[in-house]
Chains A and B, each alone.
Chain A
Amino acid sequence: DAGVTQSPTHLIKTRGQQVTLRCSPKSGHDTVSWYQQALGQGPQFIFQYYEEEERQRGNFPDRFSGHQFPNYSSELNVNALLLGDSALYLCASRGVGSGNTIYFGEGSWLTVV
């Protein structure tokens, strides 16, 4: 049973560019959330997708957007990258069969230079 998978693992972007991060949820999970973790901090909730719609959003600007596909996989897009967007981006999934337990992927390390 594959867990939550994310790609790419590491990437370096230039300030002002755009980035897309991808996530495949754990098998059987239909709800995907994204979190940003800055160095030395706990993860911060960005948004959640269920049934291909954004259901909840944290305190992040509109430069952060997402999408969920019919197969439940998801993308996180960040436009007009700032140096402060450098962080570990974590995808999490939950769904029927795992109760309320939320599972995380290995994350995508984004460096903005």
Chain B
Amino acid sequence: GIQVEQSPPDLILQEGANSTLRCNFSDSVNNLQWFHQNPWGQLINLFYIPSGTKQNGRLSATTVATERYSLLYISSSQTTDSGVYFCAVEPIQGAQKLVFGQGTRLTINP
């Protein structure tokens, strides 16, 4: 099945810093979403981005489908950005389910 790899696994930054999270996937996909999991477990939708670039405030994401990777950018980090960020893809084969990476744990220190 499709493989999803996220890097780095852990990232510790000071408040105000910028960060880039990467997601590589091994096959073509119908769907790619970035999520932020809060400490209570809820997965918050950040972006639906199977291709192209989107921005939402301090967050932006780019997916290059032909090269099978996606990047999530966080600028001017705040302590509330802390948590685990997941990339999830919906493979073309066996669609209708999301395959998740292992996540990047981001810690923003004040």
What residues of chain A have their CB less than 8 Å away from a CB belonging to chain B?
31, 33, 35, 37, 41-45, 48, 55-56, 58, 88, 90, 92, 99-107, 109
Cβ of A109 to closest chain B Cβ, rounded Å: 7
Main secondary structure of the interface of A (DSSP, over half): strand
For the complex, what is the distance from the CA of A55 to the CA of B41, rounded to whole Å? 26
Chain B residue total in the interface (Cβ 8 A): 24
Taking a contact as CB atoms under 8 Å apart, the answer to whether B94 and A107 are in contact is no
Q: Which of B14-22, B57-65, B96-104 contacts A (4 or more CB under 8 A)?
A: B96-104
Which chain A positions have C-beta within 8 A of B30?
100
In B23-38, the 8 Å CB interface with A consists of 30-31, 33, 35
Instruction: Tell me if B45 counts as interface (CB < 8 A to partner A).
Output: yes
Given contacts A42-B86, A101-B48, A102-B33, contact A107 B98 (CB under 8 A): no
Which chain A positions have C-beta within 8 A of B86?
42-43
Taking a contact as CB atoms under 8 Å apart, the answer to whether A107 and B41 are in contact is yes
- Which of B41, B94, B96, B97 has a CB less than 8 Å from the CB of A88? B41
Cβ of B11 to closest chain A Cβ, rounded Å: 16
